[in-house]
Amino acid sequence: MIDLLLVNAPVHDYAHYPRTSTPHSPPLGILSIATAADRAGFRVEVLDAELERLSPEAIVEAVRARRPRWVGINSFSINIDIVSRIVGLVCQEPTRVVVGGPHITNVSDELVAKQFGPRAVYVRGDGERAVLELIGGADPAGVPGVLTGKAAGLPGAAMISTSITVRPTYVDVTAMPMIDRRFSRGEPFERLGRRWYGLTMSRGCLFRCAFCAGSSHSSGIPYRVSSYDSVFREVDYLVGLGATGIRVFDDLPFKGKRPLLDFLGQAHRRYGDRLAWELSFPLQYGVGLSADEWRHLSEYGLATVISGVEAADMTLRYQLGKRVTDGRIWDIVNGAARSGIDLRFYFIIGLPGESRESTEQTLSFARDLASVGSRSGRQGVRCLVFGYKPMPGSALWADLLRAGHTEEELLSFTDFTLTVPEFQKHAWRSSLTLSELNPEEISQMIDEFYVQTQTFNSDLMTTDSPMV
């Protein structure tokens, strides 16, 4: 018997959804909890059900085979129905269940209990400290950040209240041990001839994007960054494992271009040309990069920059928190292209109140940007389009609640199948009609976009795949 089985929940129900080979992100939060528990002397295993494309029933079979004292499961808002099924099945086994993740952090006490049942316990915010206390025998009612299903109760009617009695807890990221990669089956992943590992340098975000639930302003969890010394110790460890590429998965790893240039400059002096880097960087920071700075970033090994454009309509883009003009975006594209740095841009369609004309404008802008790759003879710019989904804790979520929607209505999501398999992981939409387009039209437009841009926007030949 083991003390803790941590499950990275599947994004789709793979008993009824294509098991295509799509890019996989290592569950760094789960892996951090596993490392902390292992360091504390507990027996831990990680089951990456998204990597293995497991159905809920297959996950329960794995639980029965391992007989853990505790099962920990993460939950995102898009897969709550899947996780709810898993929790319901696992709670019938002789084990205790703890559920965490951004969904648990941001929805009301009552909805947590209604969706997942009264037998489980729930962690809001960072899970490392709380999970260790739980598996160590602490009373859940006395653990900071932990909500018990029985305490939350089940409401008798549809509710608009967003009562959160247990506030999220957070840890000192500088005190966390580096992730033990023995727990990570999905790394390294291979792409463009390099062996990539994931890395986290910060938690939270300082921006206030209206659609996003990850902002520290909405979650109440402060933005925290690790020291360069601790990050480089972890990178040393990954290089020792054979890493030749580092993908930083944080929303905001650097607070501006100066820290970005300083960090990558130090990294290049330390590792030379052995490492390539991929990371997220807000458009607002990218507009200030000069031609020389783009060149330096390329020399330091920066391979890909990921940013959210979200919409082409300037009024809508500004409302979402992206105060960058088209001209500035093209400046970023040109600066990156001259330096050989690839860009990945995200877009959202079907936003509340969005017109059909605005949606078509966004898709046209995304096609124009993605075509840069074909003109330059290399990938250049990749554009990913998502259907809008209300995210708990975001500003748009609060607006929709005030407009009379319930939490349950807003969380009614549906997955759909795309013609280009590479993007299947992201094929989710809201079941509500919040713009001039209905959900079926949004799905069709997303599918058509990927089909139309497949020859120059797809990465099928270099899809992330774990190296076995």
pLDDT at 137: 97
Residues 192 and 140 in one domain: no
| Cα 123 from Cα 108, distance rounded (Å) | 13
pLDDT at 304: 94
Structural domain includes residue 313: yes
Structural domain includes residue 445: yes
Three-state secondary structure call for residue 28: helix
Residues 326 and 208 in one domain: yes
- Strand order of the β-sheet with 70-74 is 44-48, 4-8, 70-74, 96-100, 121-123, 146-148
Residues 387 and 279 in one domain: yes
Which helix (H) or strand (E) covers residue 387, if one does?
strand 381-387
Residues 351 and 228 in one domain: yes
Q: Which residue has the tokens 């892996």?
A: 31
Within 8 A by CB and 6+ apart from 422, the residues are 20, 22, 23, 458, 459, 460, 463
Residues 148 and 202 in one domain: no
| Cα 412 from Cα 233, distance rounded (Å) | 43
Residues 453 and 315 in one domain: yes
pTM of the complete model: 0.94
Three-state secondary structure call for residue 430: strand
Domain with 441 in it: 187-466
Residues 323 and 373 in one domain: yes
* 125 pLDDT more than 70: yes
pLDDT at 463: 44
| Residue of 388, 381, 226, 387 lying closest to 306 (CA atoms) | 381
Residues 58 and 196 in one domain: no
For residue 85, what are the CA distances in angstroms to 24, 79, 434? 23, 10, 27
Q: What are 199's two structure tokens?
A: 């890395």
For residue 9, what are the CA distances in angstroms to 12, 17, 84, 89, 431? 9, 15, 10, 14, 22
pLDDT (tens digit, 9 = 90+) per residue, 362-405?
Answer: 999 999 999 886 444 455 899 999 999 999 999 999 999 999 99
* 241 pLDDT more than 90: yes
Q: What CATH number corresponds to the domain at position 108?
A: 3.40.50.280
Structural domain includes residue 203: yes
| Residue of 430, 431, 389, 393 lying closest to 104 (CA atoms) | 393
Residues 53 and 123 in one domain: yes
Judge residue 23's burial from the number of C-beta atoms within 10 Å of its C-beta, 0-12 exposed, 13-18 middle, 19 or more buried. Answer: middle
Instruction: Count the Cβ atoms, other than its own, within 10 Å of residue 193.
Output: 9
Boundary (domain end) residue, out of 137, 152, 167:
152
pLDDT at 352: 97
Residues 88 and 200 in one domain: no
* 154 pLDDT more than 60: no
Residues 122 and 196 in one domain: no
State the DSSP string of 190-245.
EETTEEEEEE--EES-S---TT-S--HHHH-PPPEE--HHHHHHHHHHHHHTT--E
Structural domain includes residue 175: no
Q: Please report the sign of the dihedral spanned by the C-alpha atoms of residue 391, residue 396, residue 399, residue 404.
A: negative
pLDDT at 152: 57
pLDDT at 319: 95
Q: What counts of helices (H) and strands (E) characterise the chain?
A: 20, 18
Structural domain includes residue 174: no
Residues 252 and 110 in one domain: no
pLDDT at 462: 45
Structural domain includes residue 208: yes
Boundary (domain end) residue, out of 133, 152, 171:
152
Single-letter amino acid code for the residue at 98:
V
pLDDT at 468: 38
pLDDT (tens digit, 9 = 90+) per residue, 419-441?
Answer: 998 899 999 999 999 999 999 99
Boundary (domain end) residue, out of 100, 134, 152:
152
Structural domain includes residue 165: no
Q: What CATH number corresponds to the domain at position 242?
A: 3.80.30.20
pLDDT at 23: 77
Judge residue 296's burial from the number of C-beta atoms within 10 Å of its C-beta, 0-12 exposed, 13-18 middle, 19 or more buried. Answer: middle
Structural domain includes residue 327: yes
Whether 227 contacts 174, CB under 8 Å: yes
Structural domain count, the chain: 2
